Amino acid sequence: MRTDEDALVEVGFRVAALALLALVGALVLGWPSLVPASLLLLGGLYGARLALDDPALDGASPFFAAGLLVTAELGYWSLEERETVKAEPGESFRRAAFVALLALGALLVGSLLLALTDGVRAGGLAVDLLGAIAAGAVLLVVVVARRGRRDDTRAS
């Protein structure tokens, strides 16, 4: 007999397949905007699982974060390699090492954040505040980046 859980698993598989399809589409068609779409689908799936299961604190989230970052980096790298520019020997190894370093950094930062969150979990407001500050910081970064680009364009 088919249960609700089975149905959810099936939906999860479909969303994952859609994410994979978006990533493959991005790489085959050369559309970089499909890379974050694919990752958002995976993130959404993860968020839905968290919302439904409601675990105390998922210890695998740093690994998930590192995985997402590596997928994004490899996806964009692959898109950059579509342009036939002869690179210096050893550049691929250097780039691969850099991606591995990023993954390691993501794992480390994720673990630190998770530990921090666990520490302050007693107060829900602290988590909200942390999230709000982080979201605000990201928006600030985007605004600063856009302003910098405008200034450079004007100067050139």
- The residues that touch another protein, with contacts defined as CB under 8 A, are 32-33, 35-36, 39-40, 43-44, 46-47, 50-51, 57-58, 61-62, 64-66, 68-69, 72, 76-77, 79-80, 83-88, 91, 94, 98, 102, 105-106, 109-110, 113-114, 117, 121, 124, 127-128, 130-132, 134-135, 137-139, 141-142, 144-146, 148-149, 152-153, 156
Closest approach of another protein to the CB of residue 19, in Å: 13
Closest approach of another protein to the CB of residue 2, in Å: 27
Closest to another protein by CB, 18 or 109 = 109
Q: How far apart are CA 73 and CA 132, in angstroms?
A: 26
Is the separation of the CB atoms in 60 and 13 below 8 Å? Answer: no
CA-angle at 142, arms to 85 and 27, nearest 5°: 35
Specify the amino acid at residue 17: A
| Three-state DSSP state, 3 | coil
Q: How far apart are CA 52 and CA 12, in angstroms?
A: 12
Closest to another protein by CB, 6 or 100 = 100
Closest to another protein by CB, 6 or 147 = 147
Closest to another protein by CB, 1 or 155 = 155
Question: HSE-up of 129 (CA within 13 Å, CB side)?
Answer: 7
Closest approach of another protein to the CB of residue 96, in Å: 14
In angstroms, the first-to-last Cα distance of the chain is 67
Query: In which residue are the tokens 């591995």 written?
Result: 100
Closest to another protein by CB, 1 or 53 = 53
Is the separation of the CB atoms in 38 and 20 below 8 Å? Answer: yes
Closest approach of another protein to the CB of residue 36, in Å: 4
